[in-house]
Copies of this chain bind each other. A is one copy, B any other.
Amino acid sequence: MTVSHTPTETENQVASRLAGQPIDFNSMAVVSNLFRAANAVRNHLERTVLAQHNLSWTAFVVLWVAWVWQESETRCVAEESGISKATLTGVLKTLEKLGFTTRRRSEKDGRLVIVGLTAEGNALMQRLIPEFNKHESELAAVIPTGQRDEMADHLRAVTTFALASDQ
């Protein structure tokens, strides 16, 4: 059993530790809950859906991006997966070893590498996407129907702002 503090206990303790200081608790709650949620959902999906296929979260995201476009340059895959080029190199090494992705040099530009999906990769995604989506539905179900689009919009806006701040 858990001995940890409840979220409410923690927030009260934070408020008391920061009493008197000009802190924007409202924004703090939004950001910290953003990470709590992302973390909890990620761990949940990794354990329930991904683990049985020997896939890490990032590996699945990369696989997802590759599936969406079928053929894509590594720089695009890295950016759309939200990871660095260096990380992608390692993840692709793993996915290639598992037999899900392929890599080949571009004929037009010798610097570029094109990422593709194998037949096994496509078959895996065909099974994985509906299963994954079922869990997404369960998770989003805790948000009132009419507010899900709004939620997605706000998250998109936050993403855009954060990315723009990095130039």
> Which residues on A are within 8 Å of B, measured CB to CB?
2-5, 7, 10, 13-14, 17-18, 21-24, 26-31, 33-44, 47-48, 61, 67-69, 73, 75-76, 79-80, 82, 129-130, 133, 136-143, 147-152, 154-163, 165-166
Residue of B nearest to A14 (CB): B68
Contact of B76 with A30 in the complex, beta carbons under 8 Å: no
Most buried by B among A69, A73, A137, A158: A158
Rounded to whole Å, the gap between the CB of A142 and the closest CB of chain B is: 4
| CA–CA, A47 and B129, complex, Å | 33
Let me know if A38 and B38 touch, CB within 8 A: yes
Tell me if B43 and A166 are in contact (CB < 8 A).
yes
Partner of A10 from B80, B149, B151 at Cβ < 8 Å: B80
